[in-house]
Amino acid sequence: MPRHQRGKPQSSASGGSQRQLRVGELVRHAVSDILAQGGVHDNTLAGHIVTVPEVKMSPDLKLATIYVMPLGGQDTNEVIGALERNKKFLRGEIAHRVNLKFAPDIRFRADERFDEAERIEKLLRTPAVQRDLKHDLDDE
């Protein structure tokens, strides 16, 4: 059997292999600690509290996609720009804090989950959906 077919198949719903999830969580903690301690000396980042809700690792663990969101969701593009400017420093800090064979290349993305949750919440509050929900409850 070829090597890539051994073991359990990876599920895209789970977010990757157990190793990817574990390393992603280690990187998330490292980046969160660096940002919380003010380790990055940037005026844009100094004026914002940045949360790191998720880090997704590539299967070979050489690329980390770090999802970030400034508190309140304001100035997201400026914060991502500041993180991009300090990418080299952050990558070095991650390499010191997370014991990996290679320091992963990092990229930053805005976390869109809050926007998507708000969109769904608004959709559920529309009169048409409320009418359908009331109709379903009356049938029971």
Q: Supply the DSSP string of 82-120, one letter for each residue.
A: HHHHTHHHHHHHHHHHS--SSPPEEEEEE--HHHHHHHH
Evaluate whether residue 136 is within a structural domain.
no
Give 29-84 pLDDT, tens digit per residue. Answer: 999 999 988 888 888 888 888 889 999 999 999 999 999 988 877 888 899 999 99
The answer to whether residue 134 is domain-embedded is no
Please report whether residue 22 resides in a domain.
yes
- pLDDT at 74 (0 to 100): 80
**Contact status, residue 108 vs residue 70, Cβ threshold 8 Å:** no
Please tell me the predicted confidence (pLDDT) of residue 15: 65
Task: Tell me, yes or no, whether 38 lies in a domain.
Answer: yes
User: 0.85 cut: is pTM over it?
Assistant: no
Q: Which structural domain, as residue segments, surrounds residue 96?
A: 11-112
Burial label, 122 (beta-carbon count in 10 A; 0-12, 13-18, 19+) = exposed
Q: Is residue 139 part of a domain?
A: no
Residue 138 one-letter amino acid: D
pLDDT at 89: 93
The Cα diameter of the chain in Å comes to 61
Q: What is the pLDDT of residue 81?
A: 92
Residue 23 sits in a domain of what CATH number?
3.30.300.20
